[in-house]
Amino acid sequence: MLSSPPVPPINVEKSYRRLLNHLPGMAYRCRILNTDADENDYLQYELEFVSKGSYELLGVPAEDMVLDHHNTIERMTHPDDLAPSRKAIHDSIVAHEPYQVMYRLLLPSGRVKWLWDQGEGVYDDAGVLRYLEGLIMDVSEQKFQEMALREENRELRTSVINLYGLGNIVGKSEPMRRVYSQILKAAETDSNVIIYGETGCGKDLAAKSIHEYSGRKGRYVPVNCGAIPEQLLESEFFGHVKGAFSGAHANKEGYIGAANGGTLFLDEIGELPLHLQVKLLRAIENKMYTPVGGNTPKESSFRLIAATNQDLSKMVREKTMRSDFYYRVNVLSITLPPLRDRHGDISLLVEAWLEKRGLSLVLPPHVRLAVEQYDWPGNVRELHNFLDRYLAFGDEALMSLGDAGRADLLLNTPQGISLEQAVLQLEERMIRQTLERCRWHRGKAAEELGLNLRTLQRKMRRMTTASEELKGK
């Protein structure tokens, strides 16, 4: 009986390489040269094998890549990406984990390619690292699309800064425009934010704007840290389980749980006691918390925004705030200007307040001047409160503005002149005072007065003409 001829053994190595040569991208194997390196030393290696995809990926034949060892890729890697990518691979190898890195390649043509490099270490029976094996793919198209989309989103977000403000924040002054830019940049990250500002300047509005423009799908949970009794703080923040304490008749979700996937806004964060700072720090760092009376930790992926009118660094020095809590909270900082530094926004704020209440009221000249002259130590909140009082009591509300609200001091005009003449005198006085305060910088003065530059120049010409006519007489 005839036997069939023996089947020649399959060359596994050739079969393996043939398969790799048909893969998209570039497969590679690197031999480790410094096998005795400790975890602090970067790996030194040379290419032993490169698949034929190297030519399409880099424009270099596989044979030339091997002859050049690994220097081809390193020479072409963007200088800003070389060290970070090497460190990422090193750290993964030290941890005995597969690595995944993305970096840019600068081609001889001047083009840039984005590469995705993933691989892992190969160890011998003694656990010594001998090789790196991996695959490099061209992800330029996806990366450029992502970058274009990000830029488009940034432009769309920037475009929402209209002539009057950002979202529910009103103001077109330069200090506020800087704040708008910071808000939009903060919205693009998940970093913790702290908002500094005096009482009443709109810290809650700024925090809510960051949340809204961030695209986070969870809730916006505002918390006034100074309004919660100390004995209820833990229960309010972490929630509690049924029976945790007297009166706990049912499970309750706390602020941290409610903010899962959204934003937790801690207003007046400087009012938190030290013992709660410790527990909040763990929740902020680990995104884990345990309800009062419970044993099972829960997860909450919240974004933290805090606000204060206090000097937190001073509180750290005085030991009323933990330094680790302060540094965890104070990552990105935004400072809101007081209303006295943005006088040019006052008229817009008044108009927005009237519009919100559906009123077509026009403030009399003496009221407008009083509003413009007052310093507003309570900021926007005080302005809104004054307008509420004025709506209810009329001119009596001006008494709350001190000297600025006293019509006799503002007017200081002789008897017997018309209202129009009195208004013109007041207007001239106010323009001169503003110009002097702005060192005769017309642009700044116009902004502070709530006028456009052309209108201010026209009024100044009228003032000069009137002065010359008076001299001629």
Mean pLDDT, residues 132-137 taken together? 90
pLDDT tens digits for 64-99? 888 876 577 888 888 888 888 888 888 888 888 899
Helix (H, G, I), strand (E, B) or coil at 414: coil
Lookup result for tokens 């749980």? 257
Helix (H, G, I), strand (E, B) or coil at 319: coil
Alpha carbon 53 to its chain's center: 41
Neighbours of 412 (CB within 10 A): 12
The confidence band for 57, taking pLDDT boundaries of 50, 70 and 90, is confident
In a 10 Å sphere around its CB, with 0-12 CB exposed, 13-18 middle and 19+ buried, how is residue 8 labelled? exposed
Predicted confidence at residue 10, as pLDDT, reads 47
**Phi and psi torsions of 177, nearest 5°:** -65, -35
Of the two residues 342 and 409, the one the predictor is more confident about is 342
Beta bridge pairs of residue 196: 308, 335
In a 10 Å sphere around its CB, with 0-12 CB exposed, 13-18 middle and 19+ buried, how is residue 269 labelled? buried
Predicted confidence at residue 410, as pLDDT, reads 47
Helix (H, G, I), strand (E, B) or coil at 226: helix
Q: How far apart are the first and last CA of the chain?
A: 141
Q: Same CATH topology for 12-143 and 160-337? A: no
Question: Pairing mode, if any, of strands 263-267 and 303-308?
Answer: parallel
For domain 160-337, which architecture applies?
A: 3-Layer(aba) Sandwich (3.40)
Helix (H, G, I), strand (E, B) or coil at 193: strand
Alpha carbon 77 to its chain's center: 30
Residue 408 has pLDDT above 70, yes or no: no
* Domain boundary assignment for the chain: 12-143, 160-337, 340-472
For domain 12-143, which architecture applies?
A: 2-Layer Sandwich (3.30)
DSSP string of 126-179?
A: TS-EEEEEEEEEE-HHHHHHHHHHHHHHHHHHHHT--SSEETTEE--SHHHHHH
User: Do 93 and 41 contact (CB within 8 A), yes or no?
Assistant: no
Share of the chain above pLDDT 90, in %: 30
How far is residue 246's CA from residue 164's CA, in Å, rounded to a whole number?
51
Of the two residues 324 and 453, the one the predictor is more confident about is 324
Alpha carbon 453 to its chain's center: 33
Helix (H, G, I), strand (E, B) or coil at 79: helix
pLDDT tens digits for 194-213? 999 999 999 999 999 999 98
* pTM score: 0.57
Instruction: Dihedral sign for Cα 294, 299, 301, 304, please.
Output: positive
Query: What is the C-alpha radius of gyration for the chain, rounded to an integer number of angstroms?
Result: 34
pLDDT tens digits for 5-55? 555 554 546 666 677 777 788 888 888 888 776 666 677 878 888 888 888
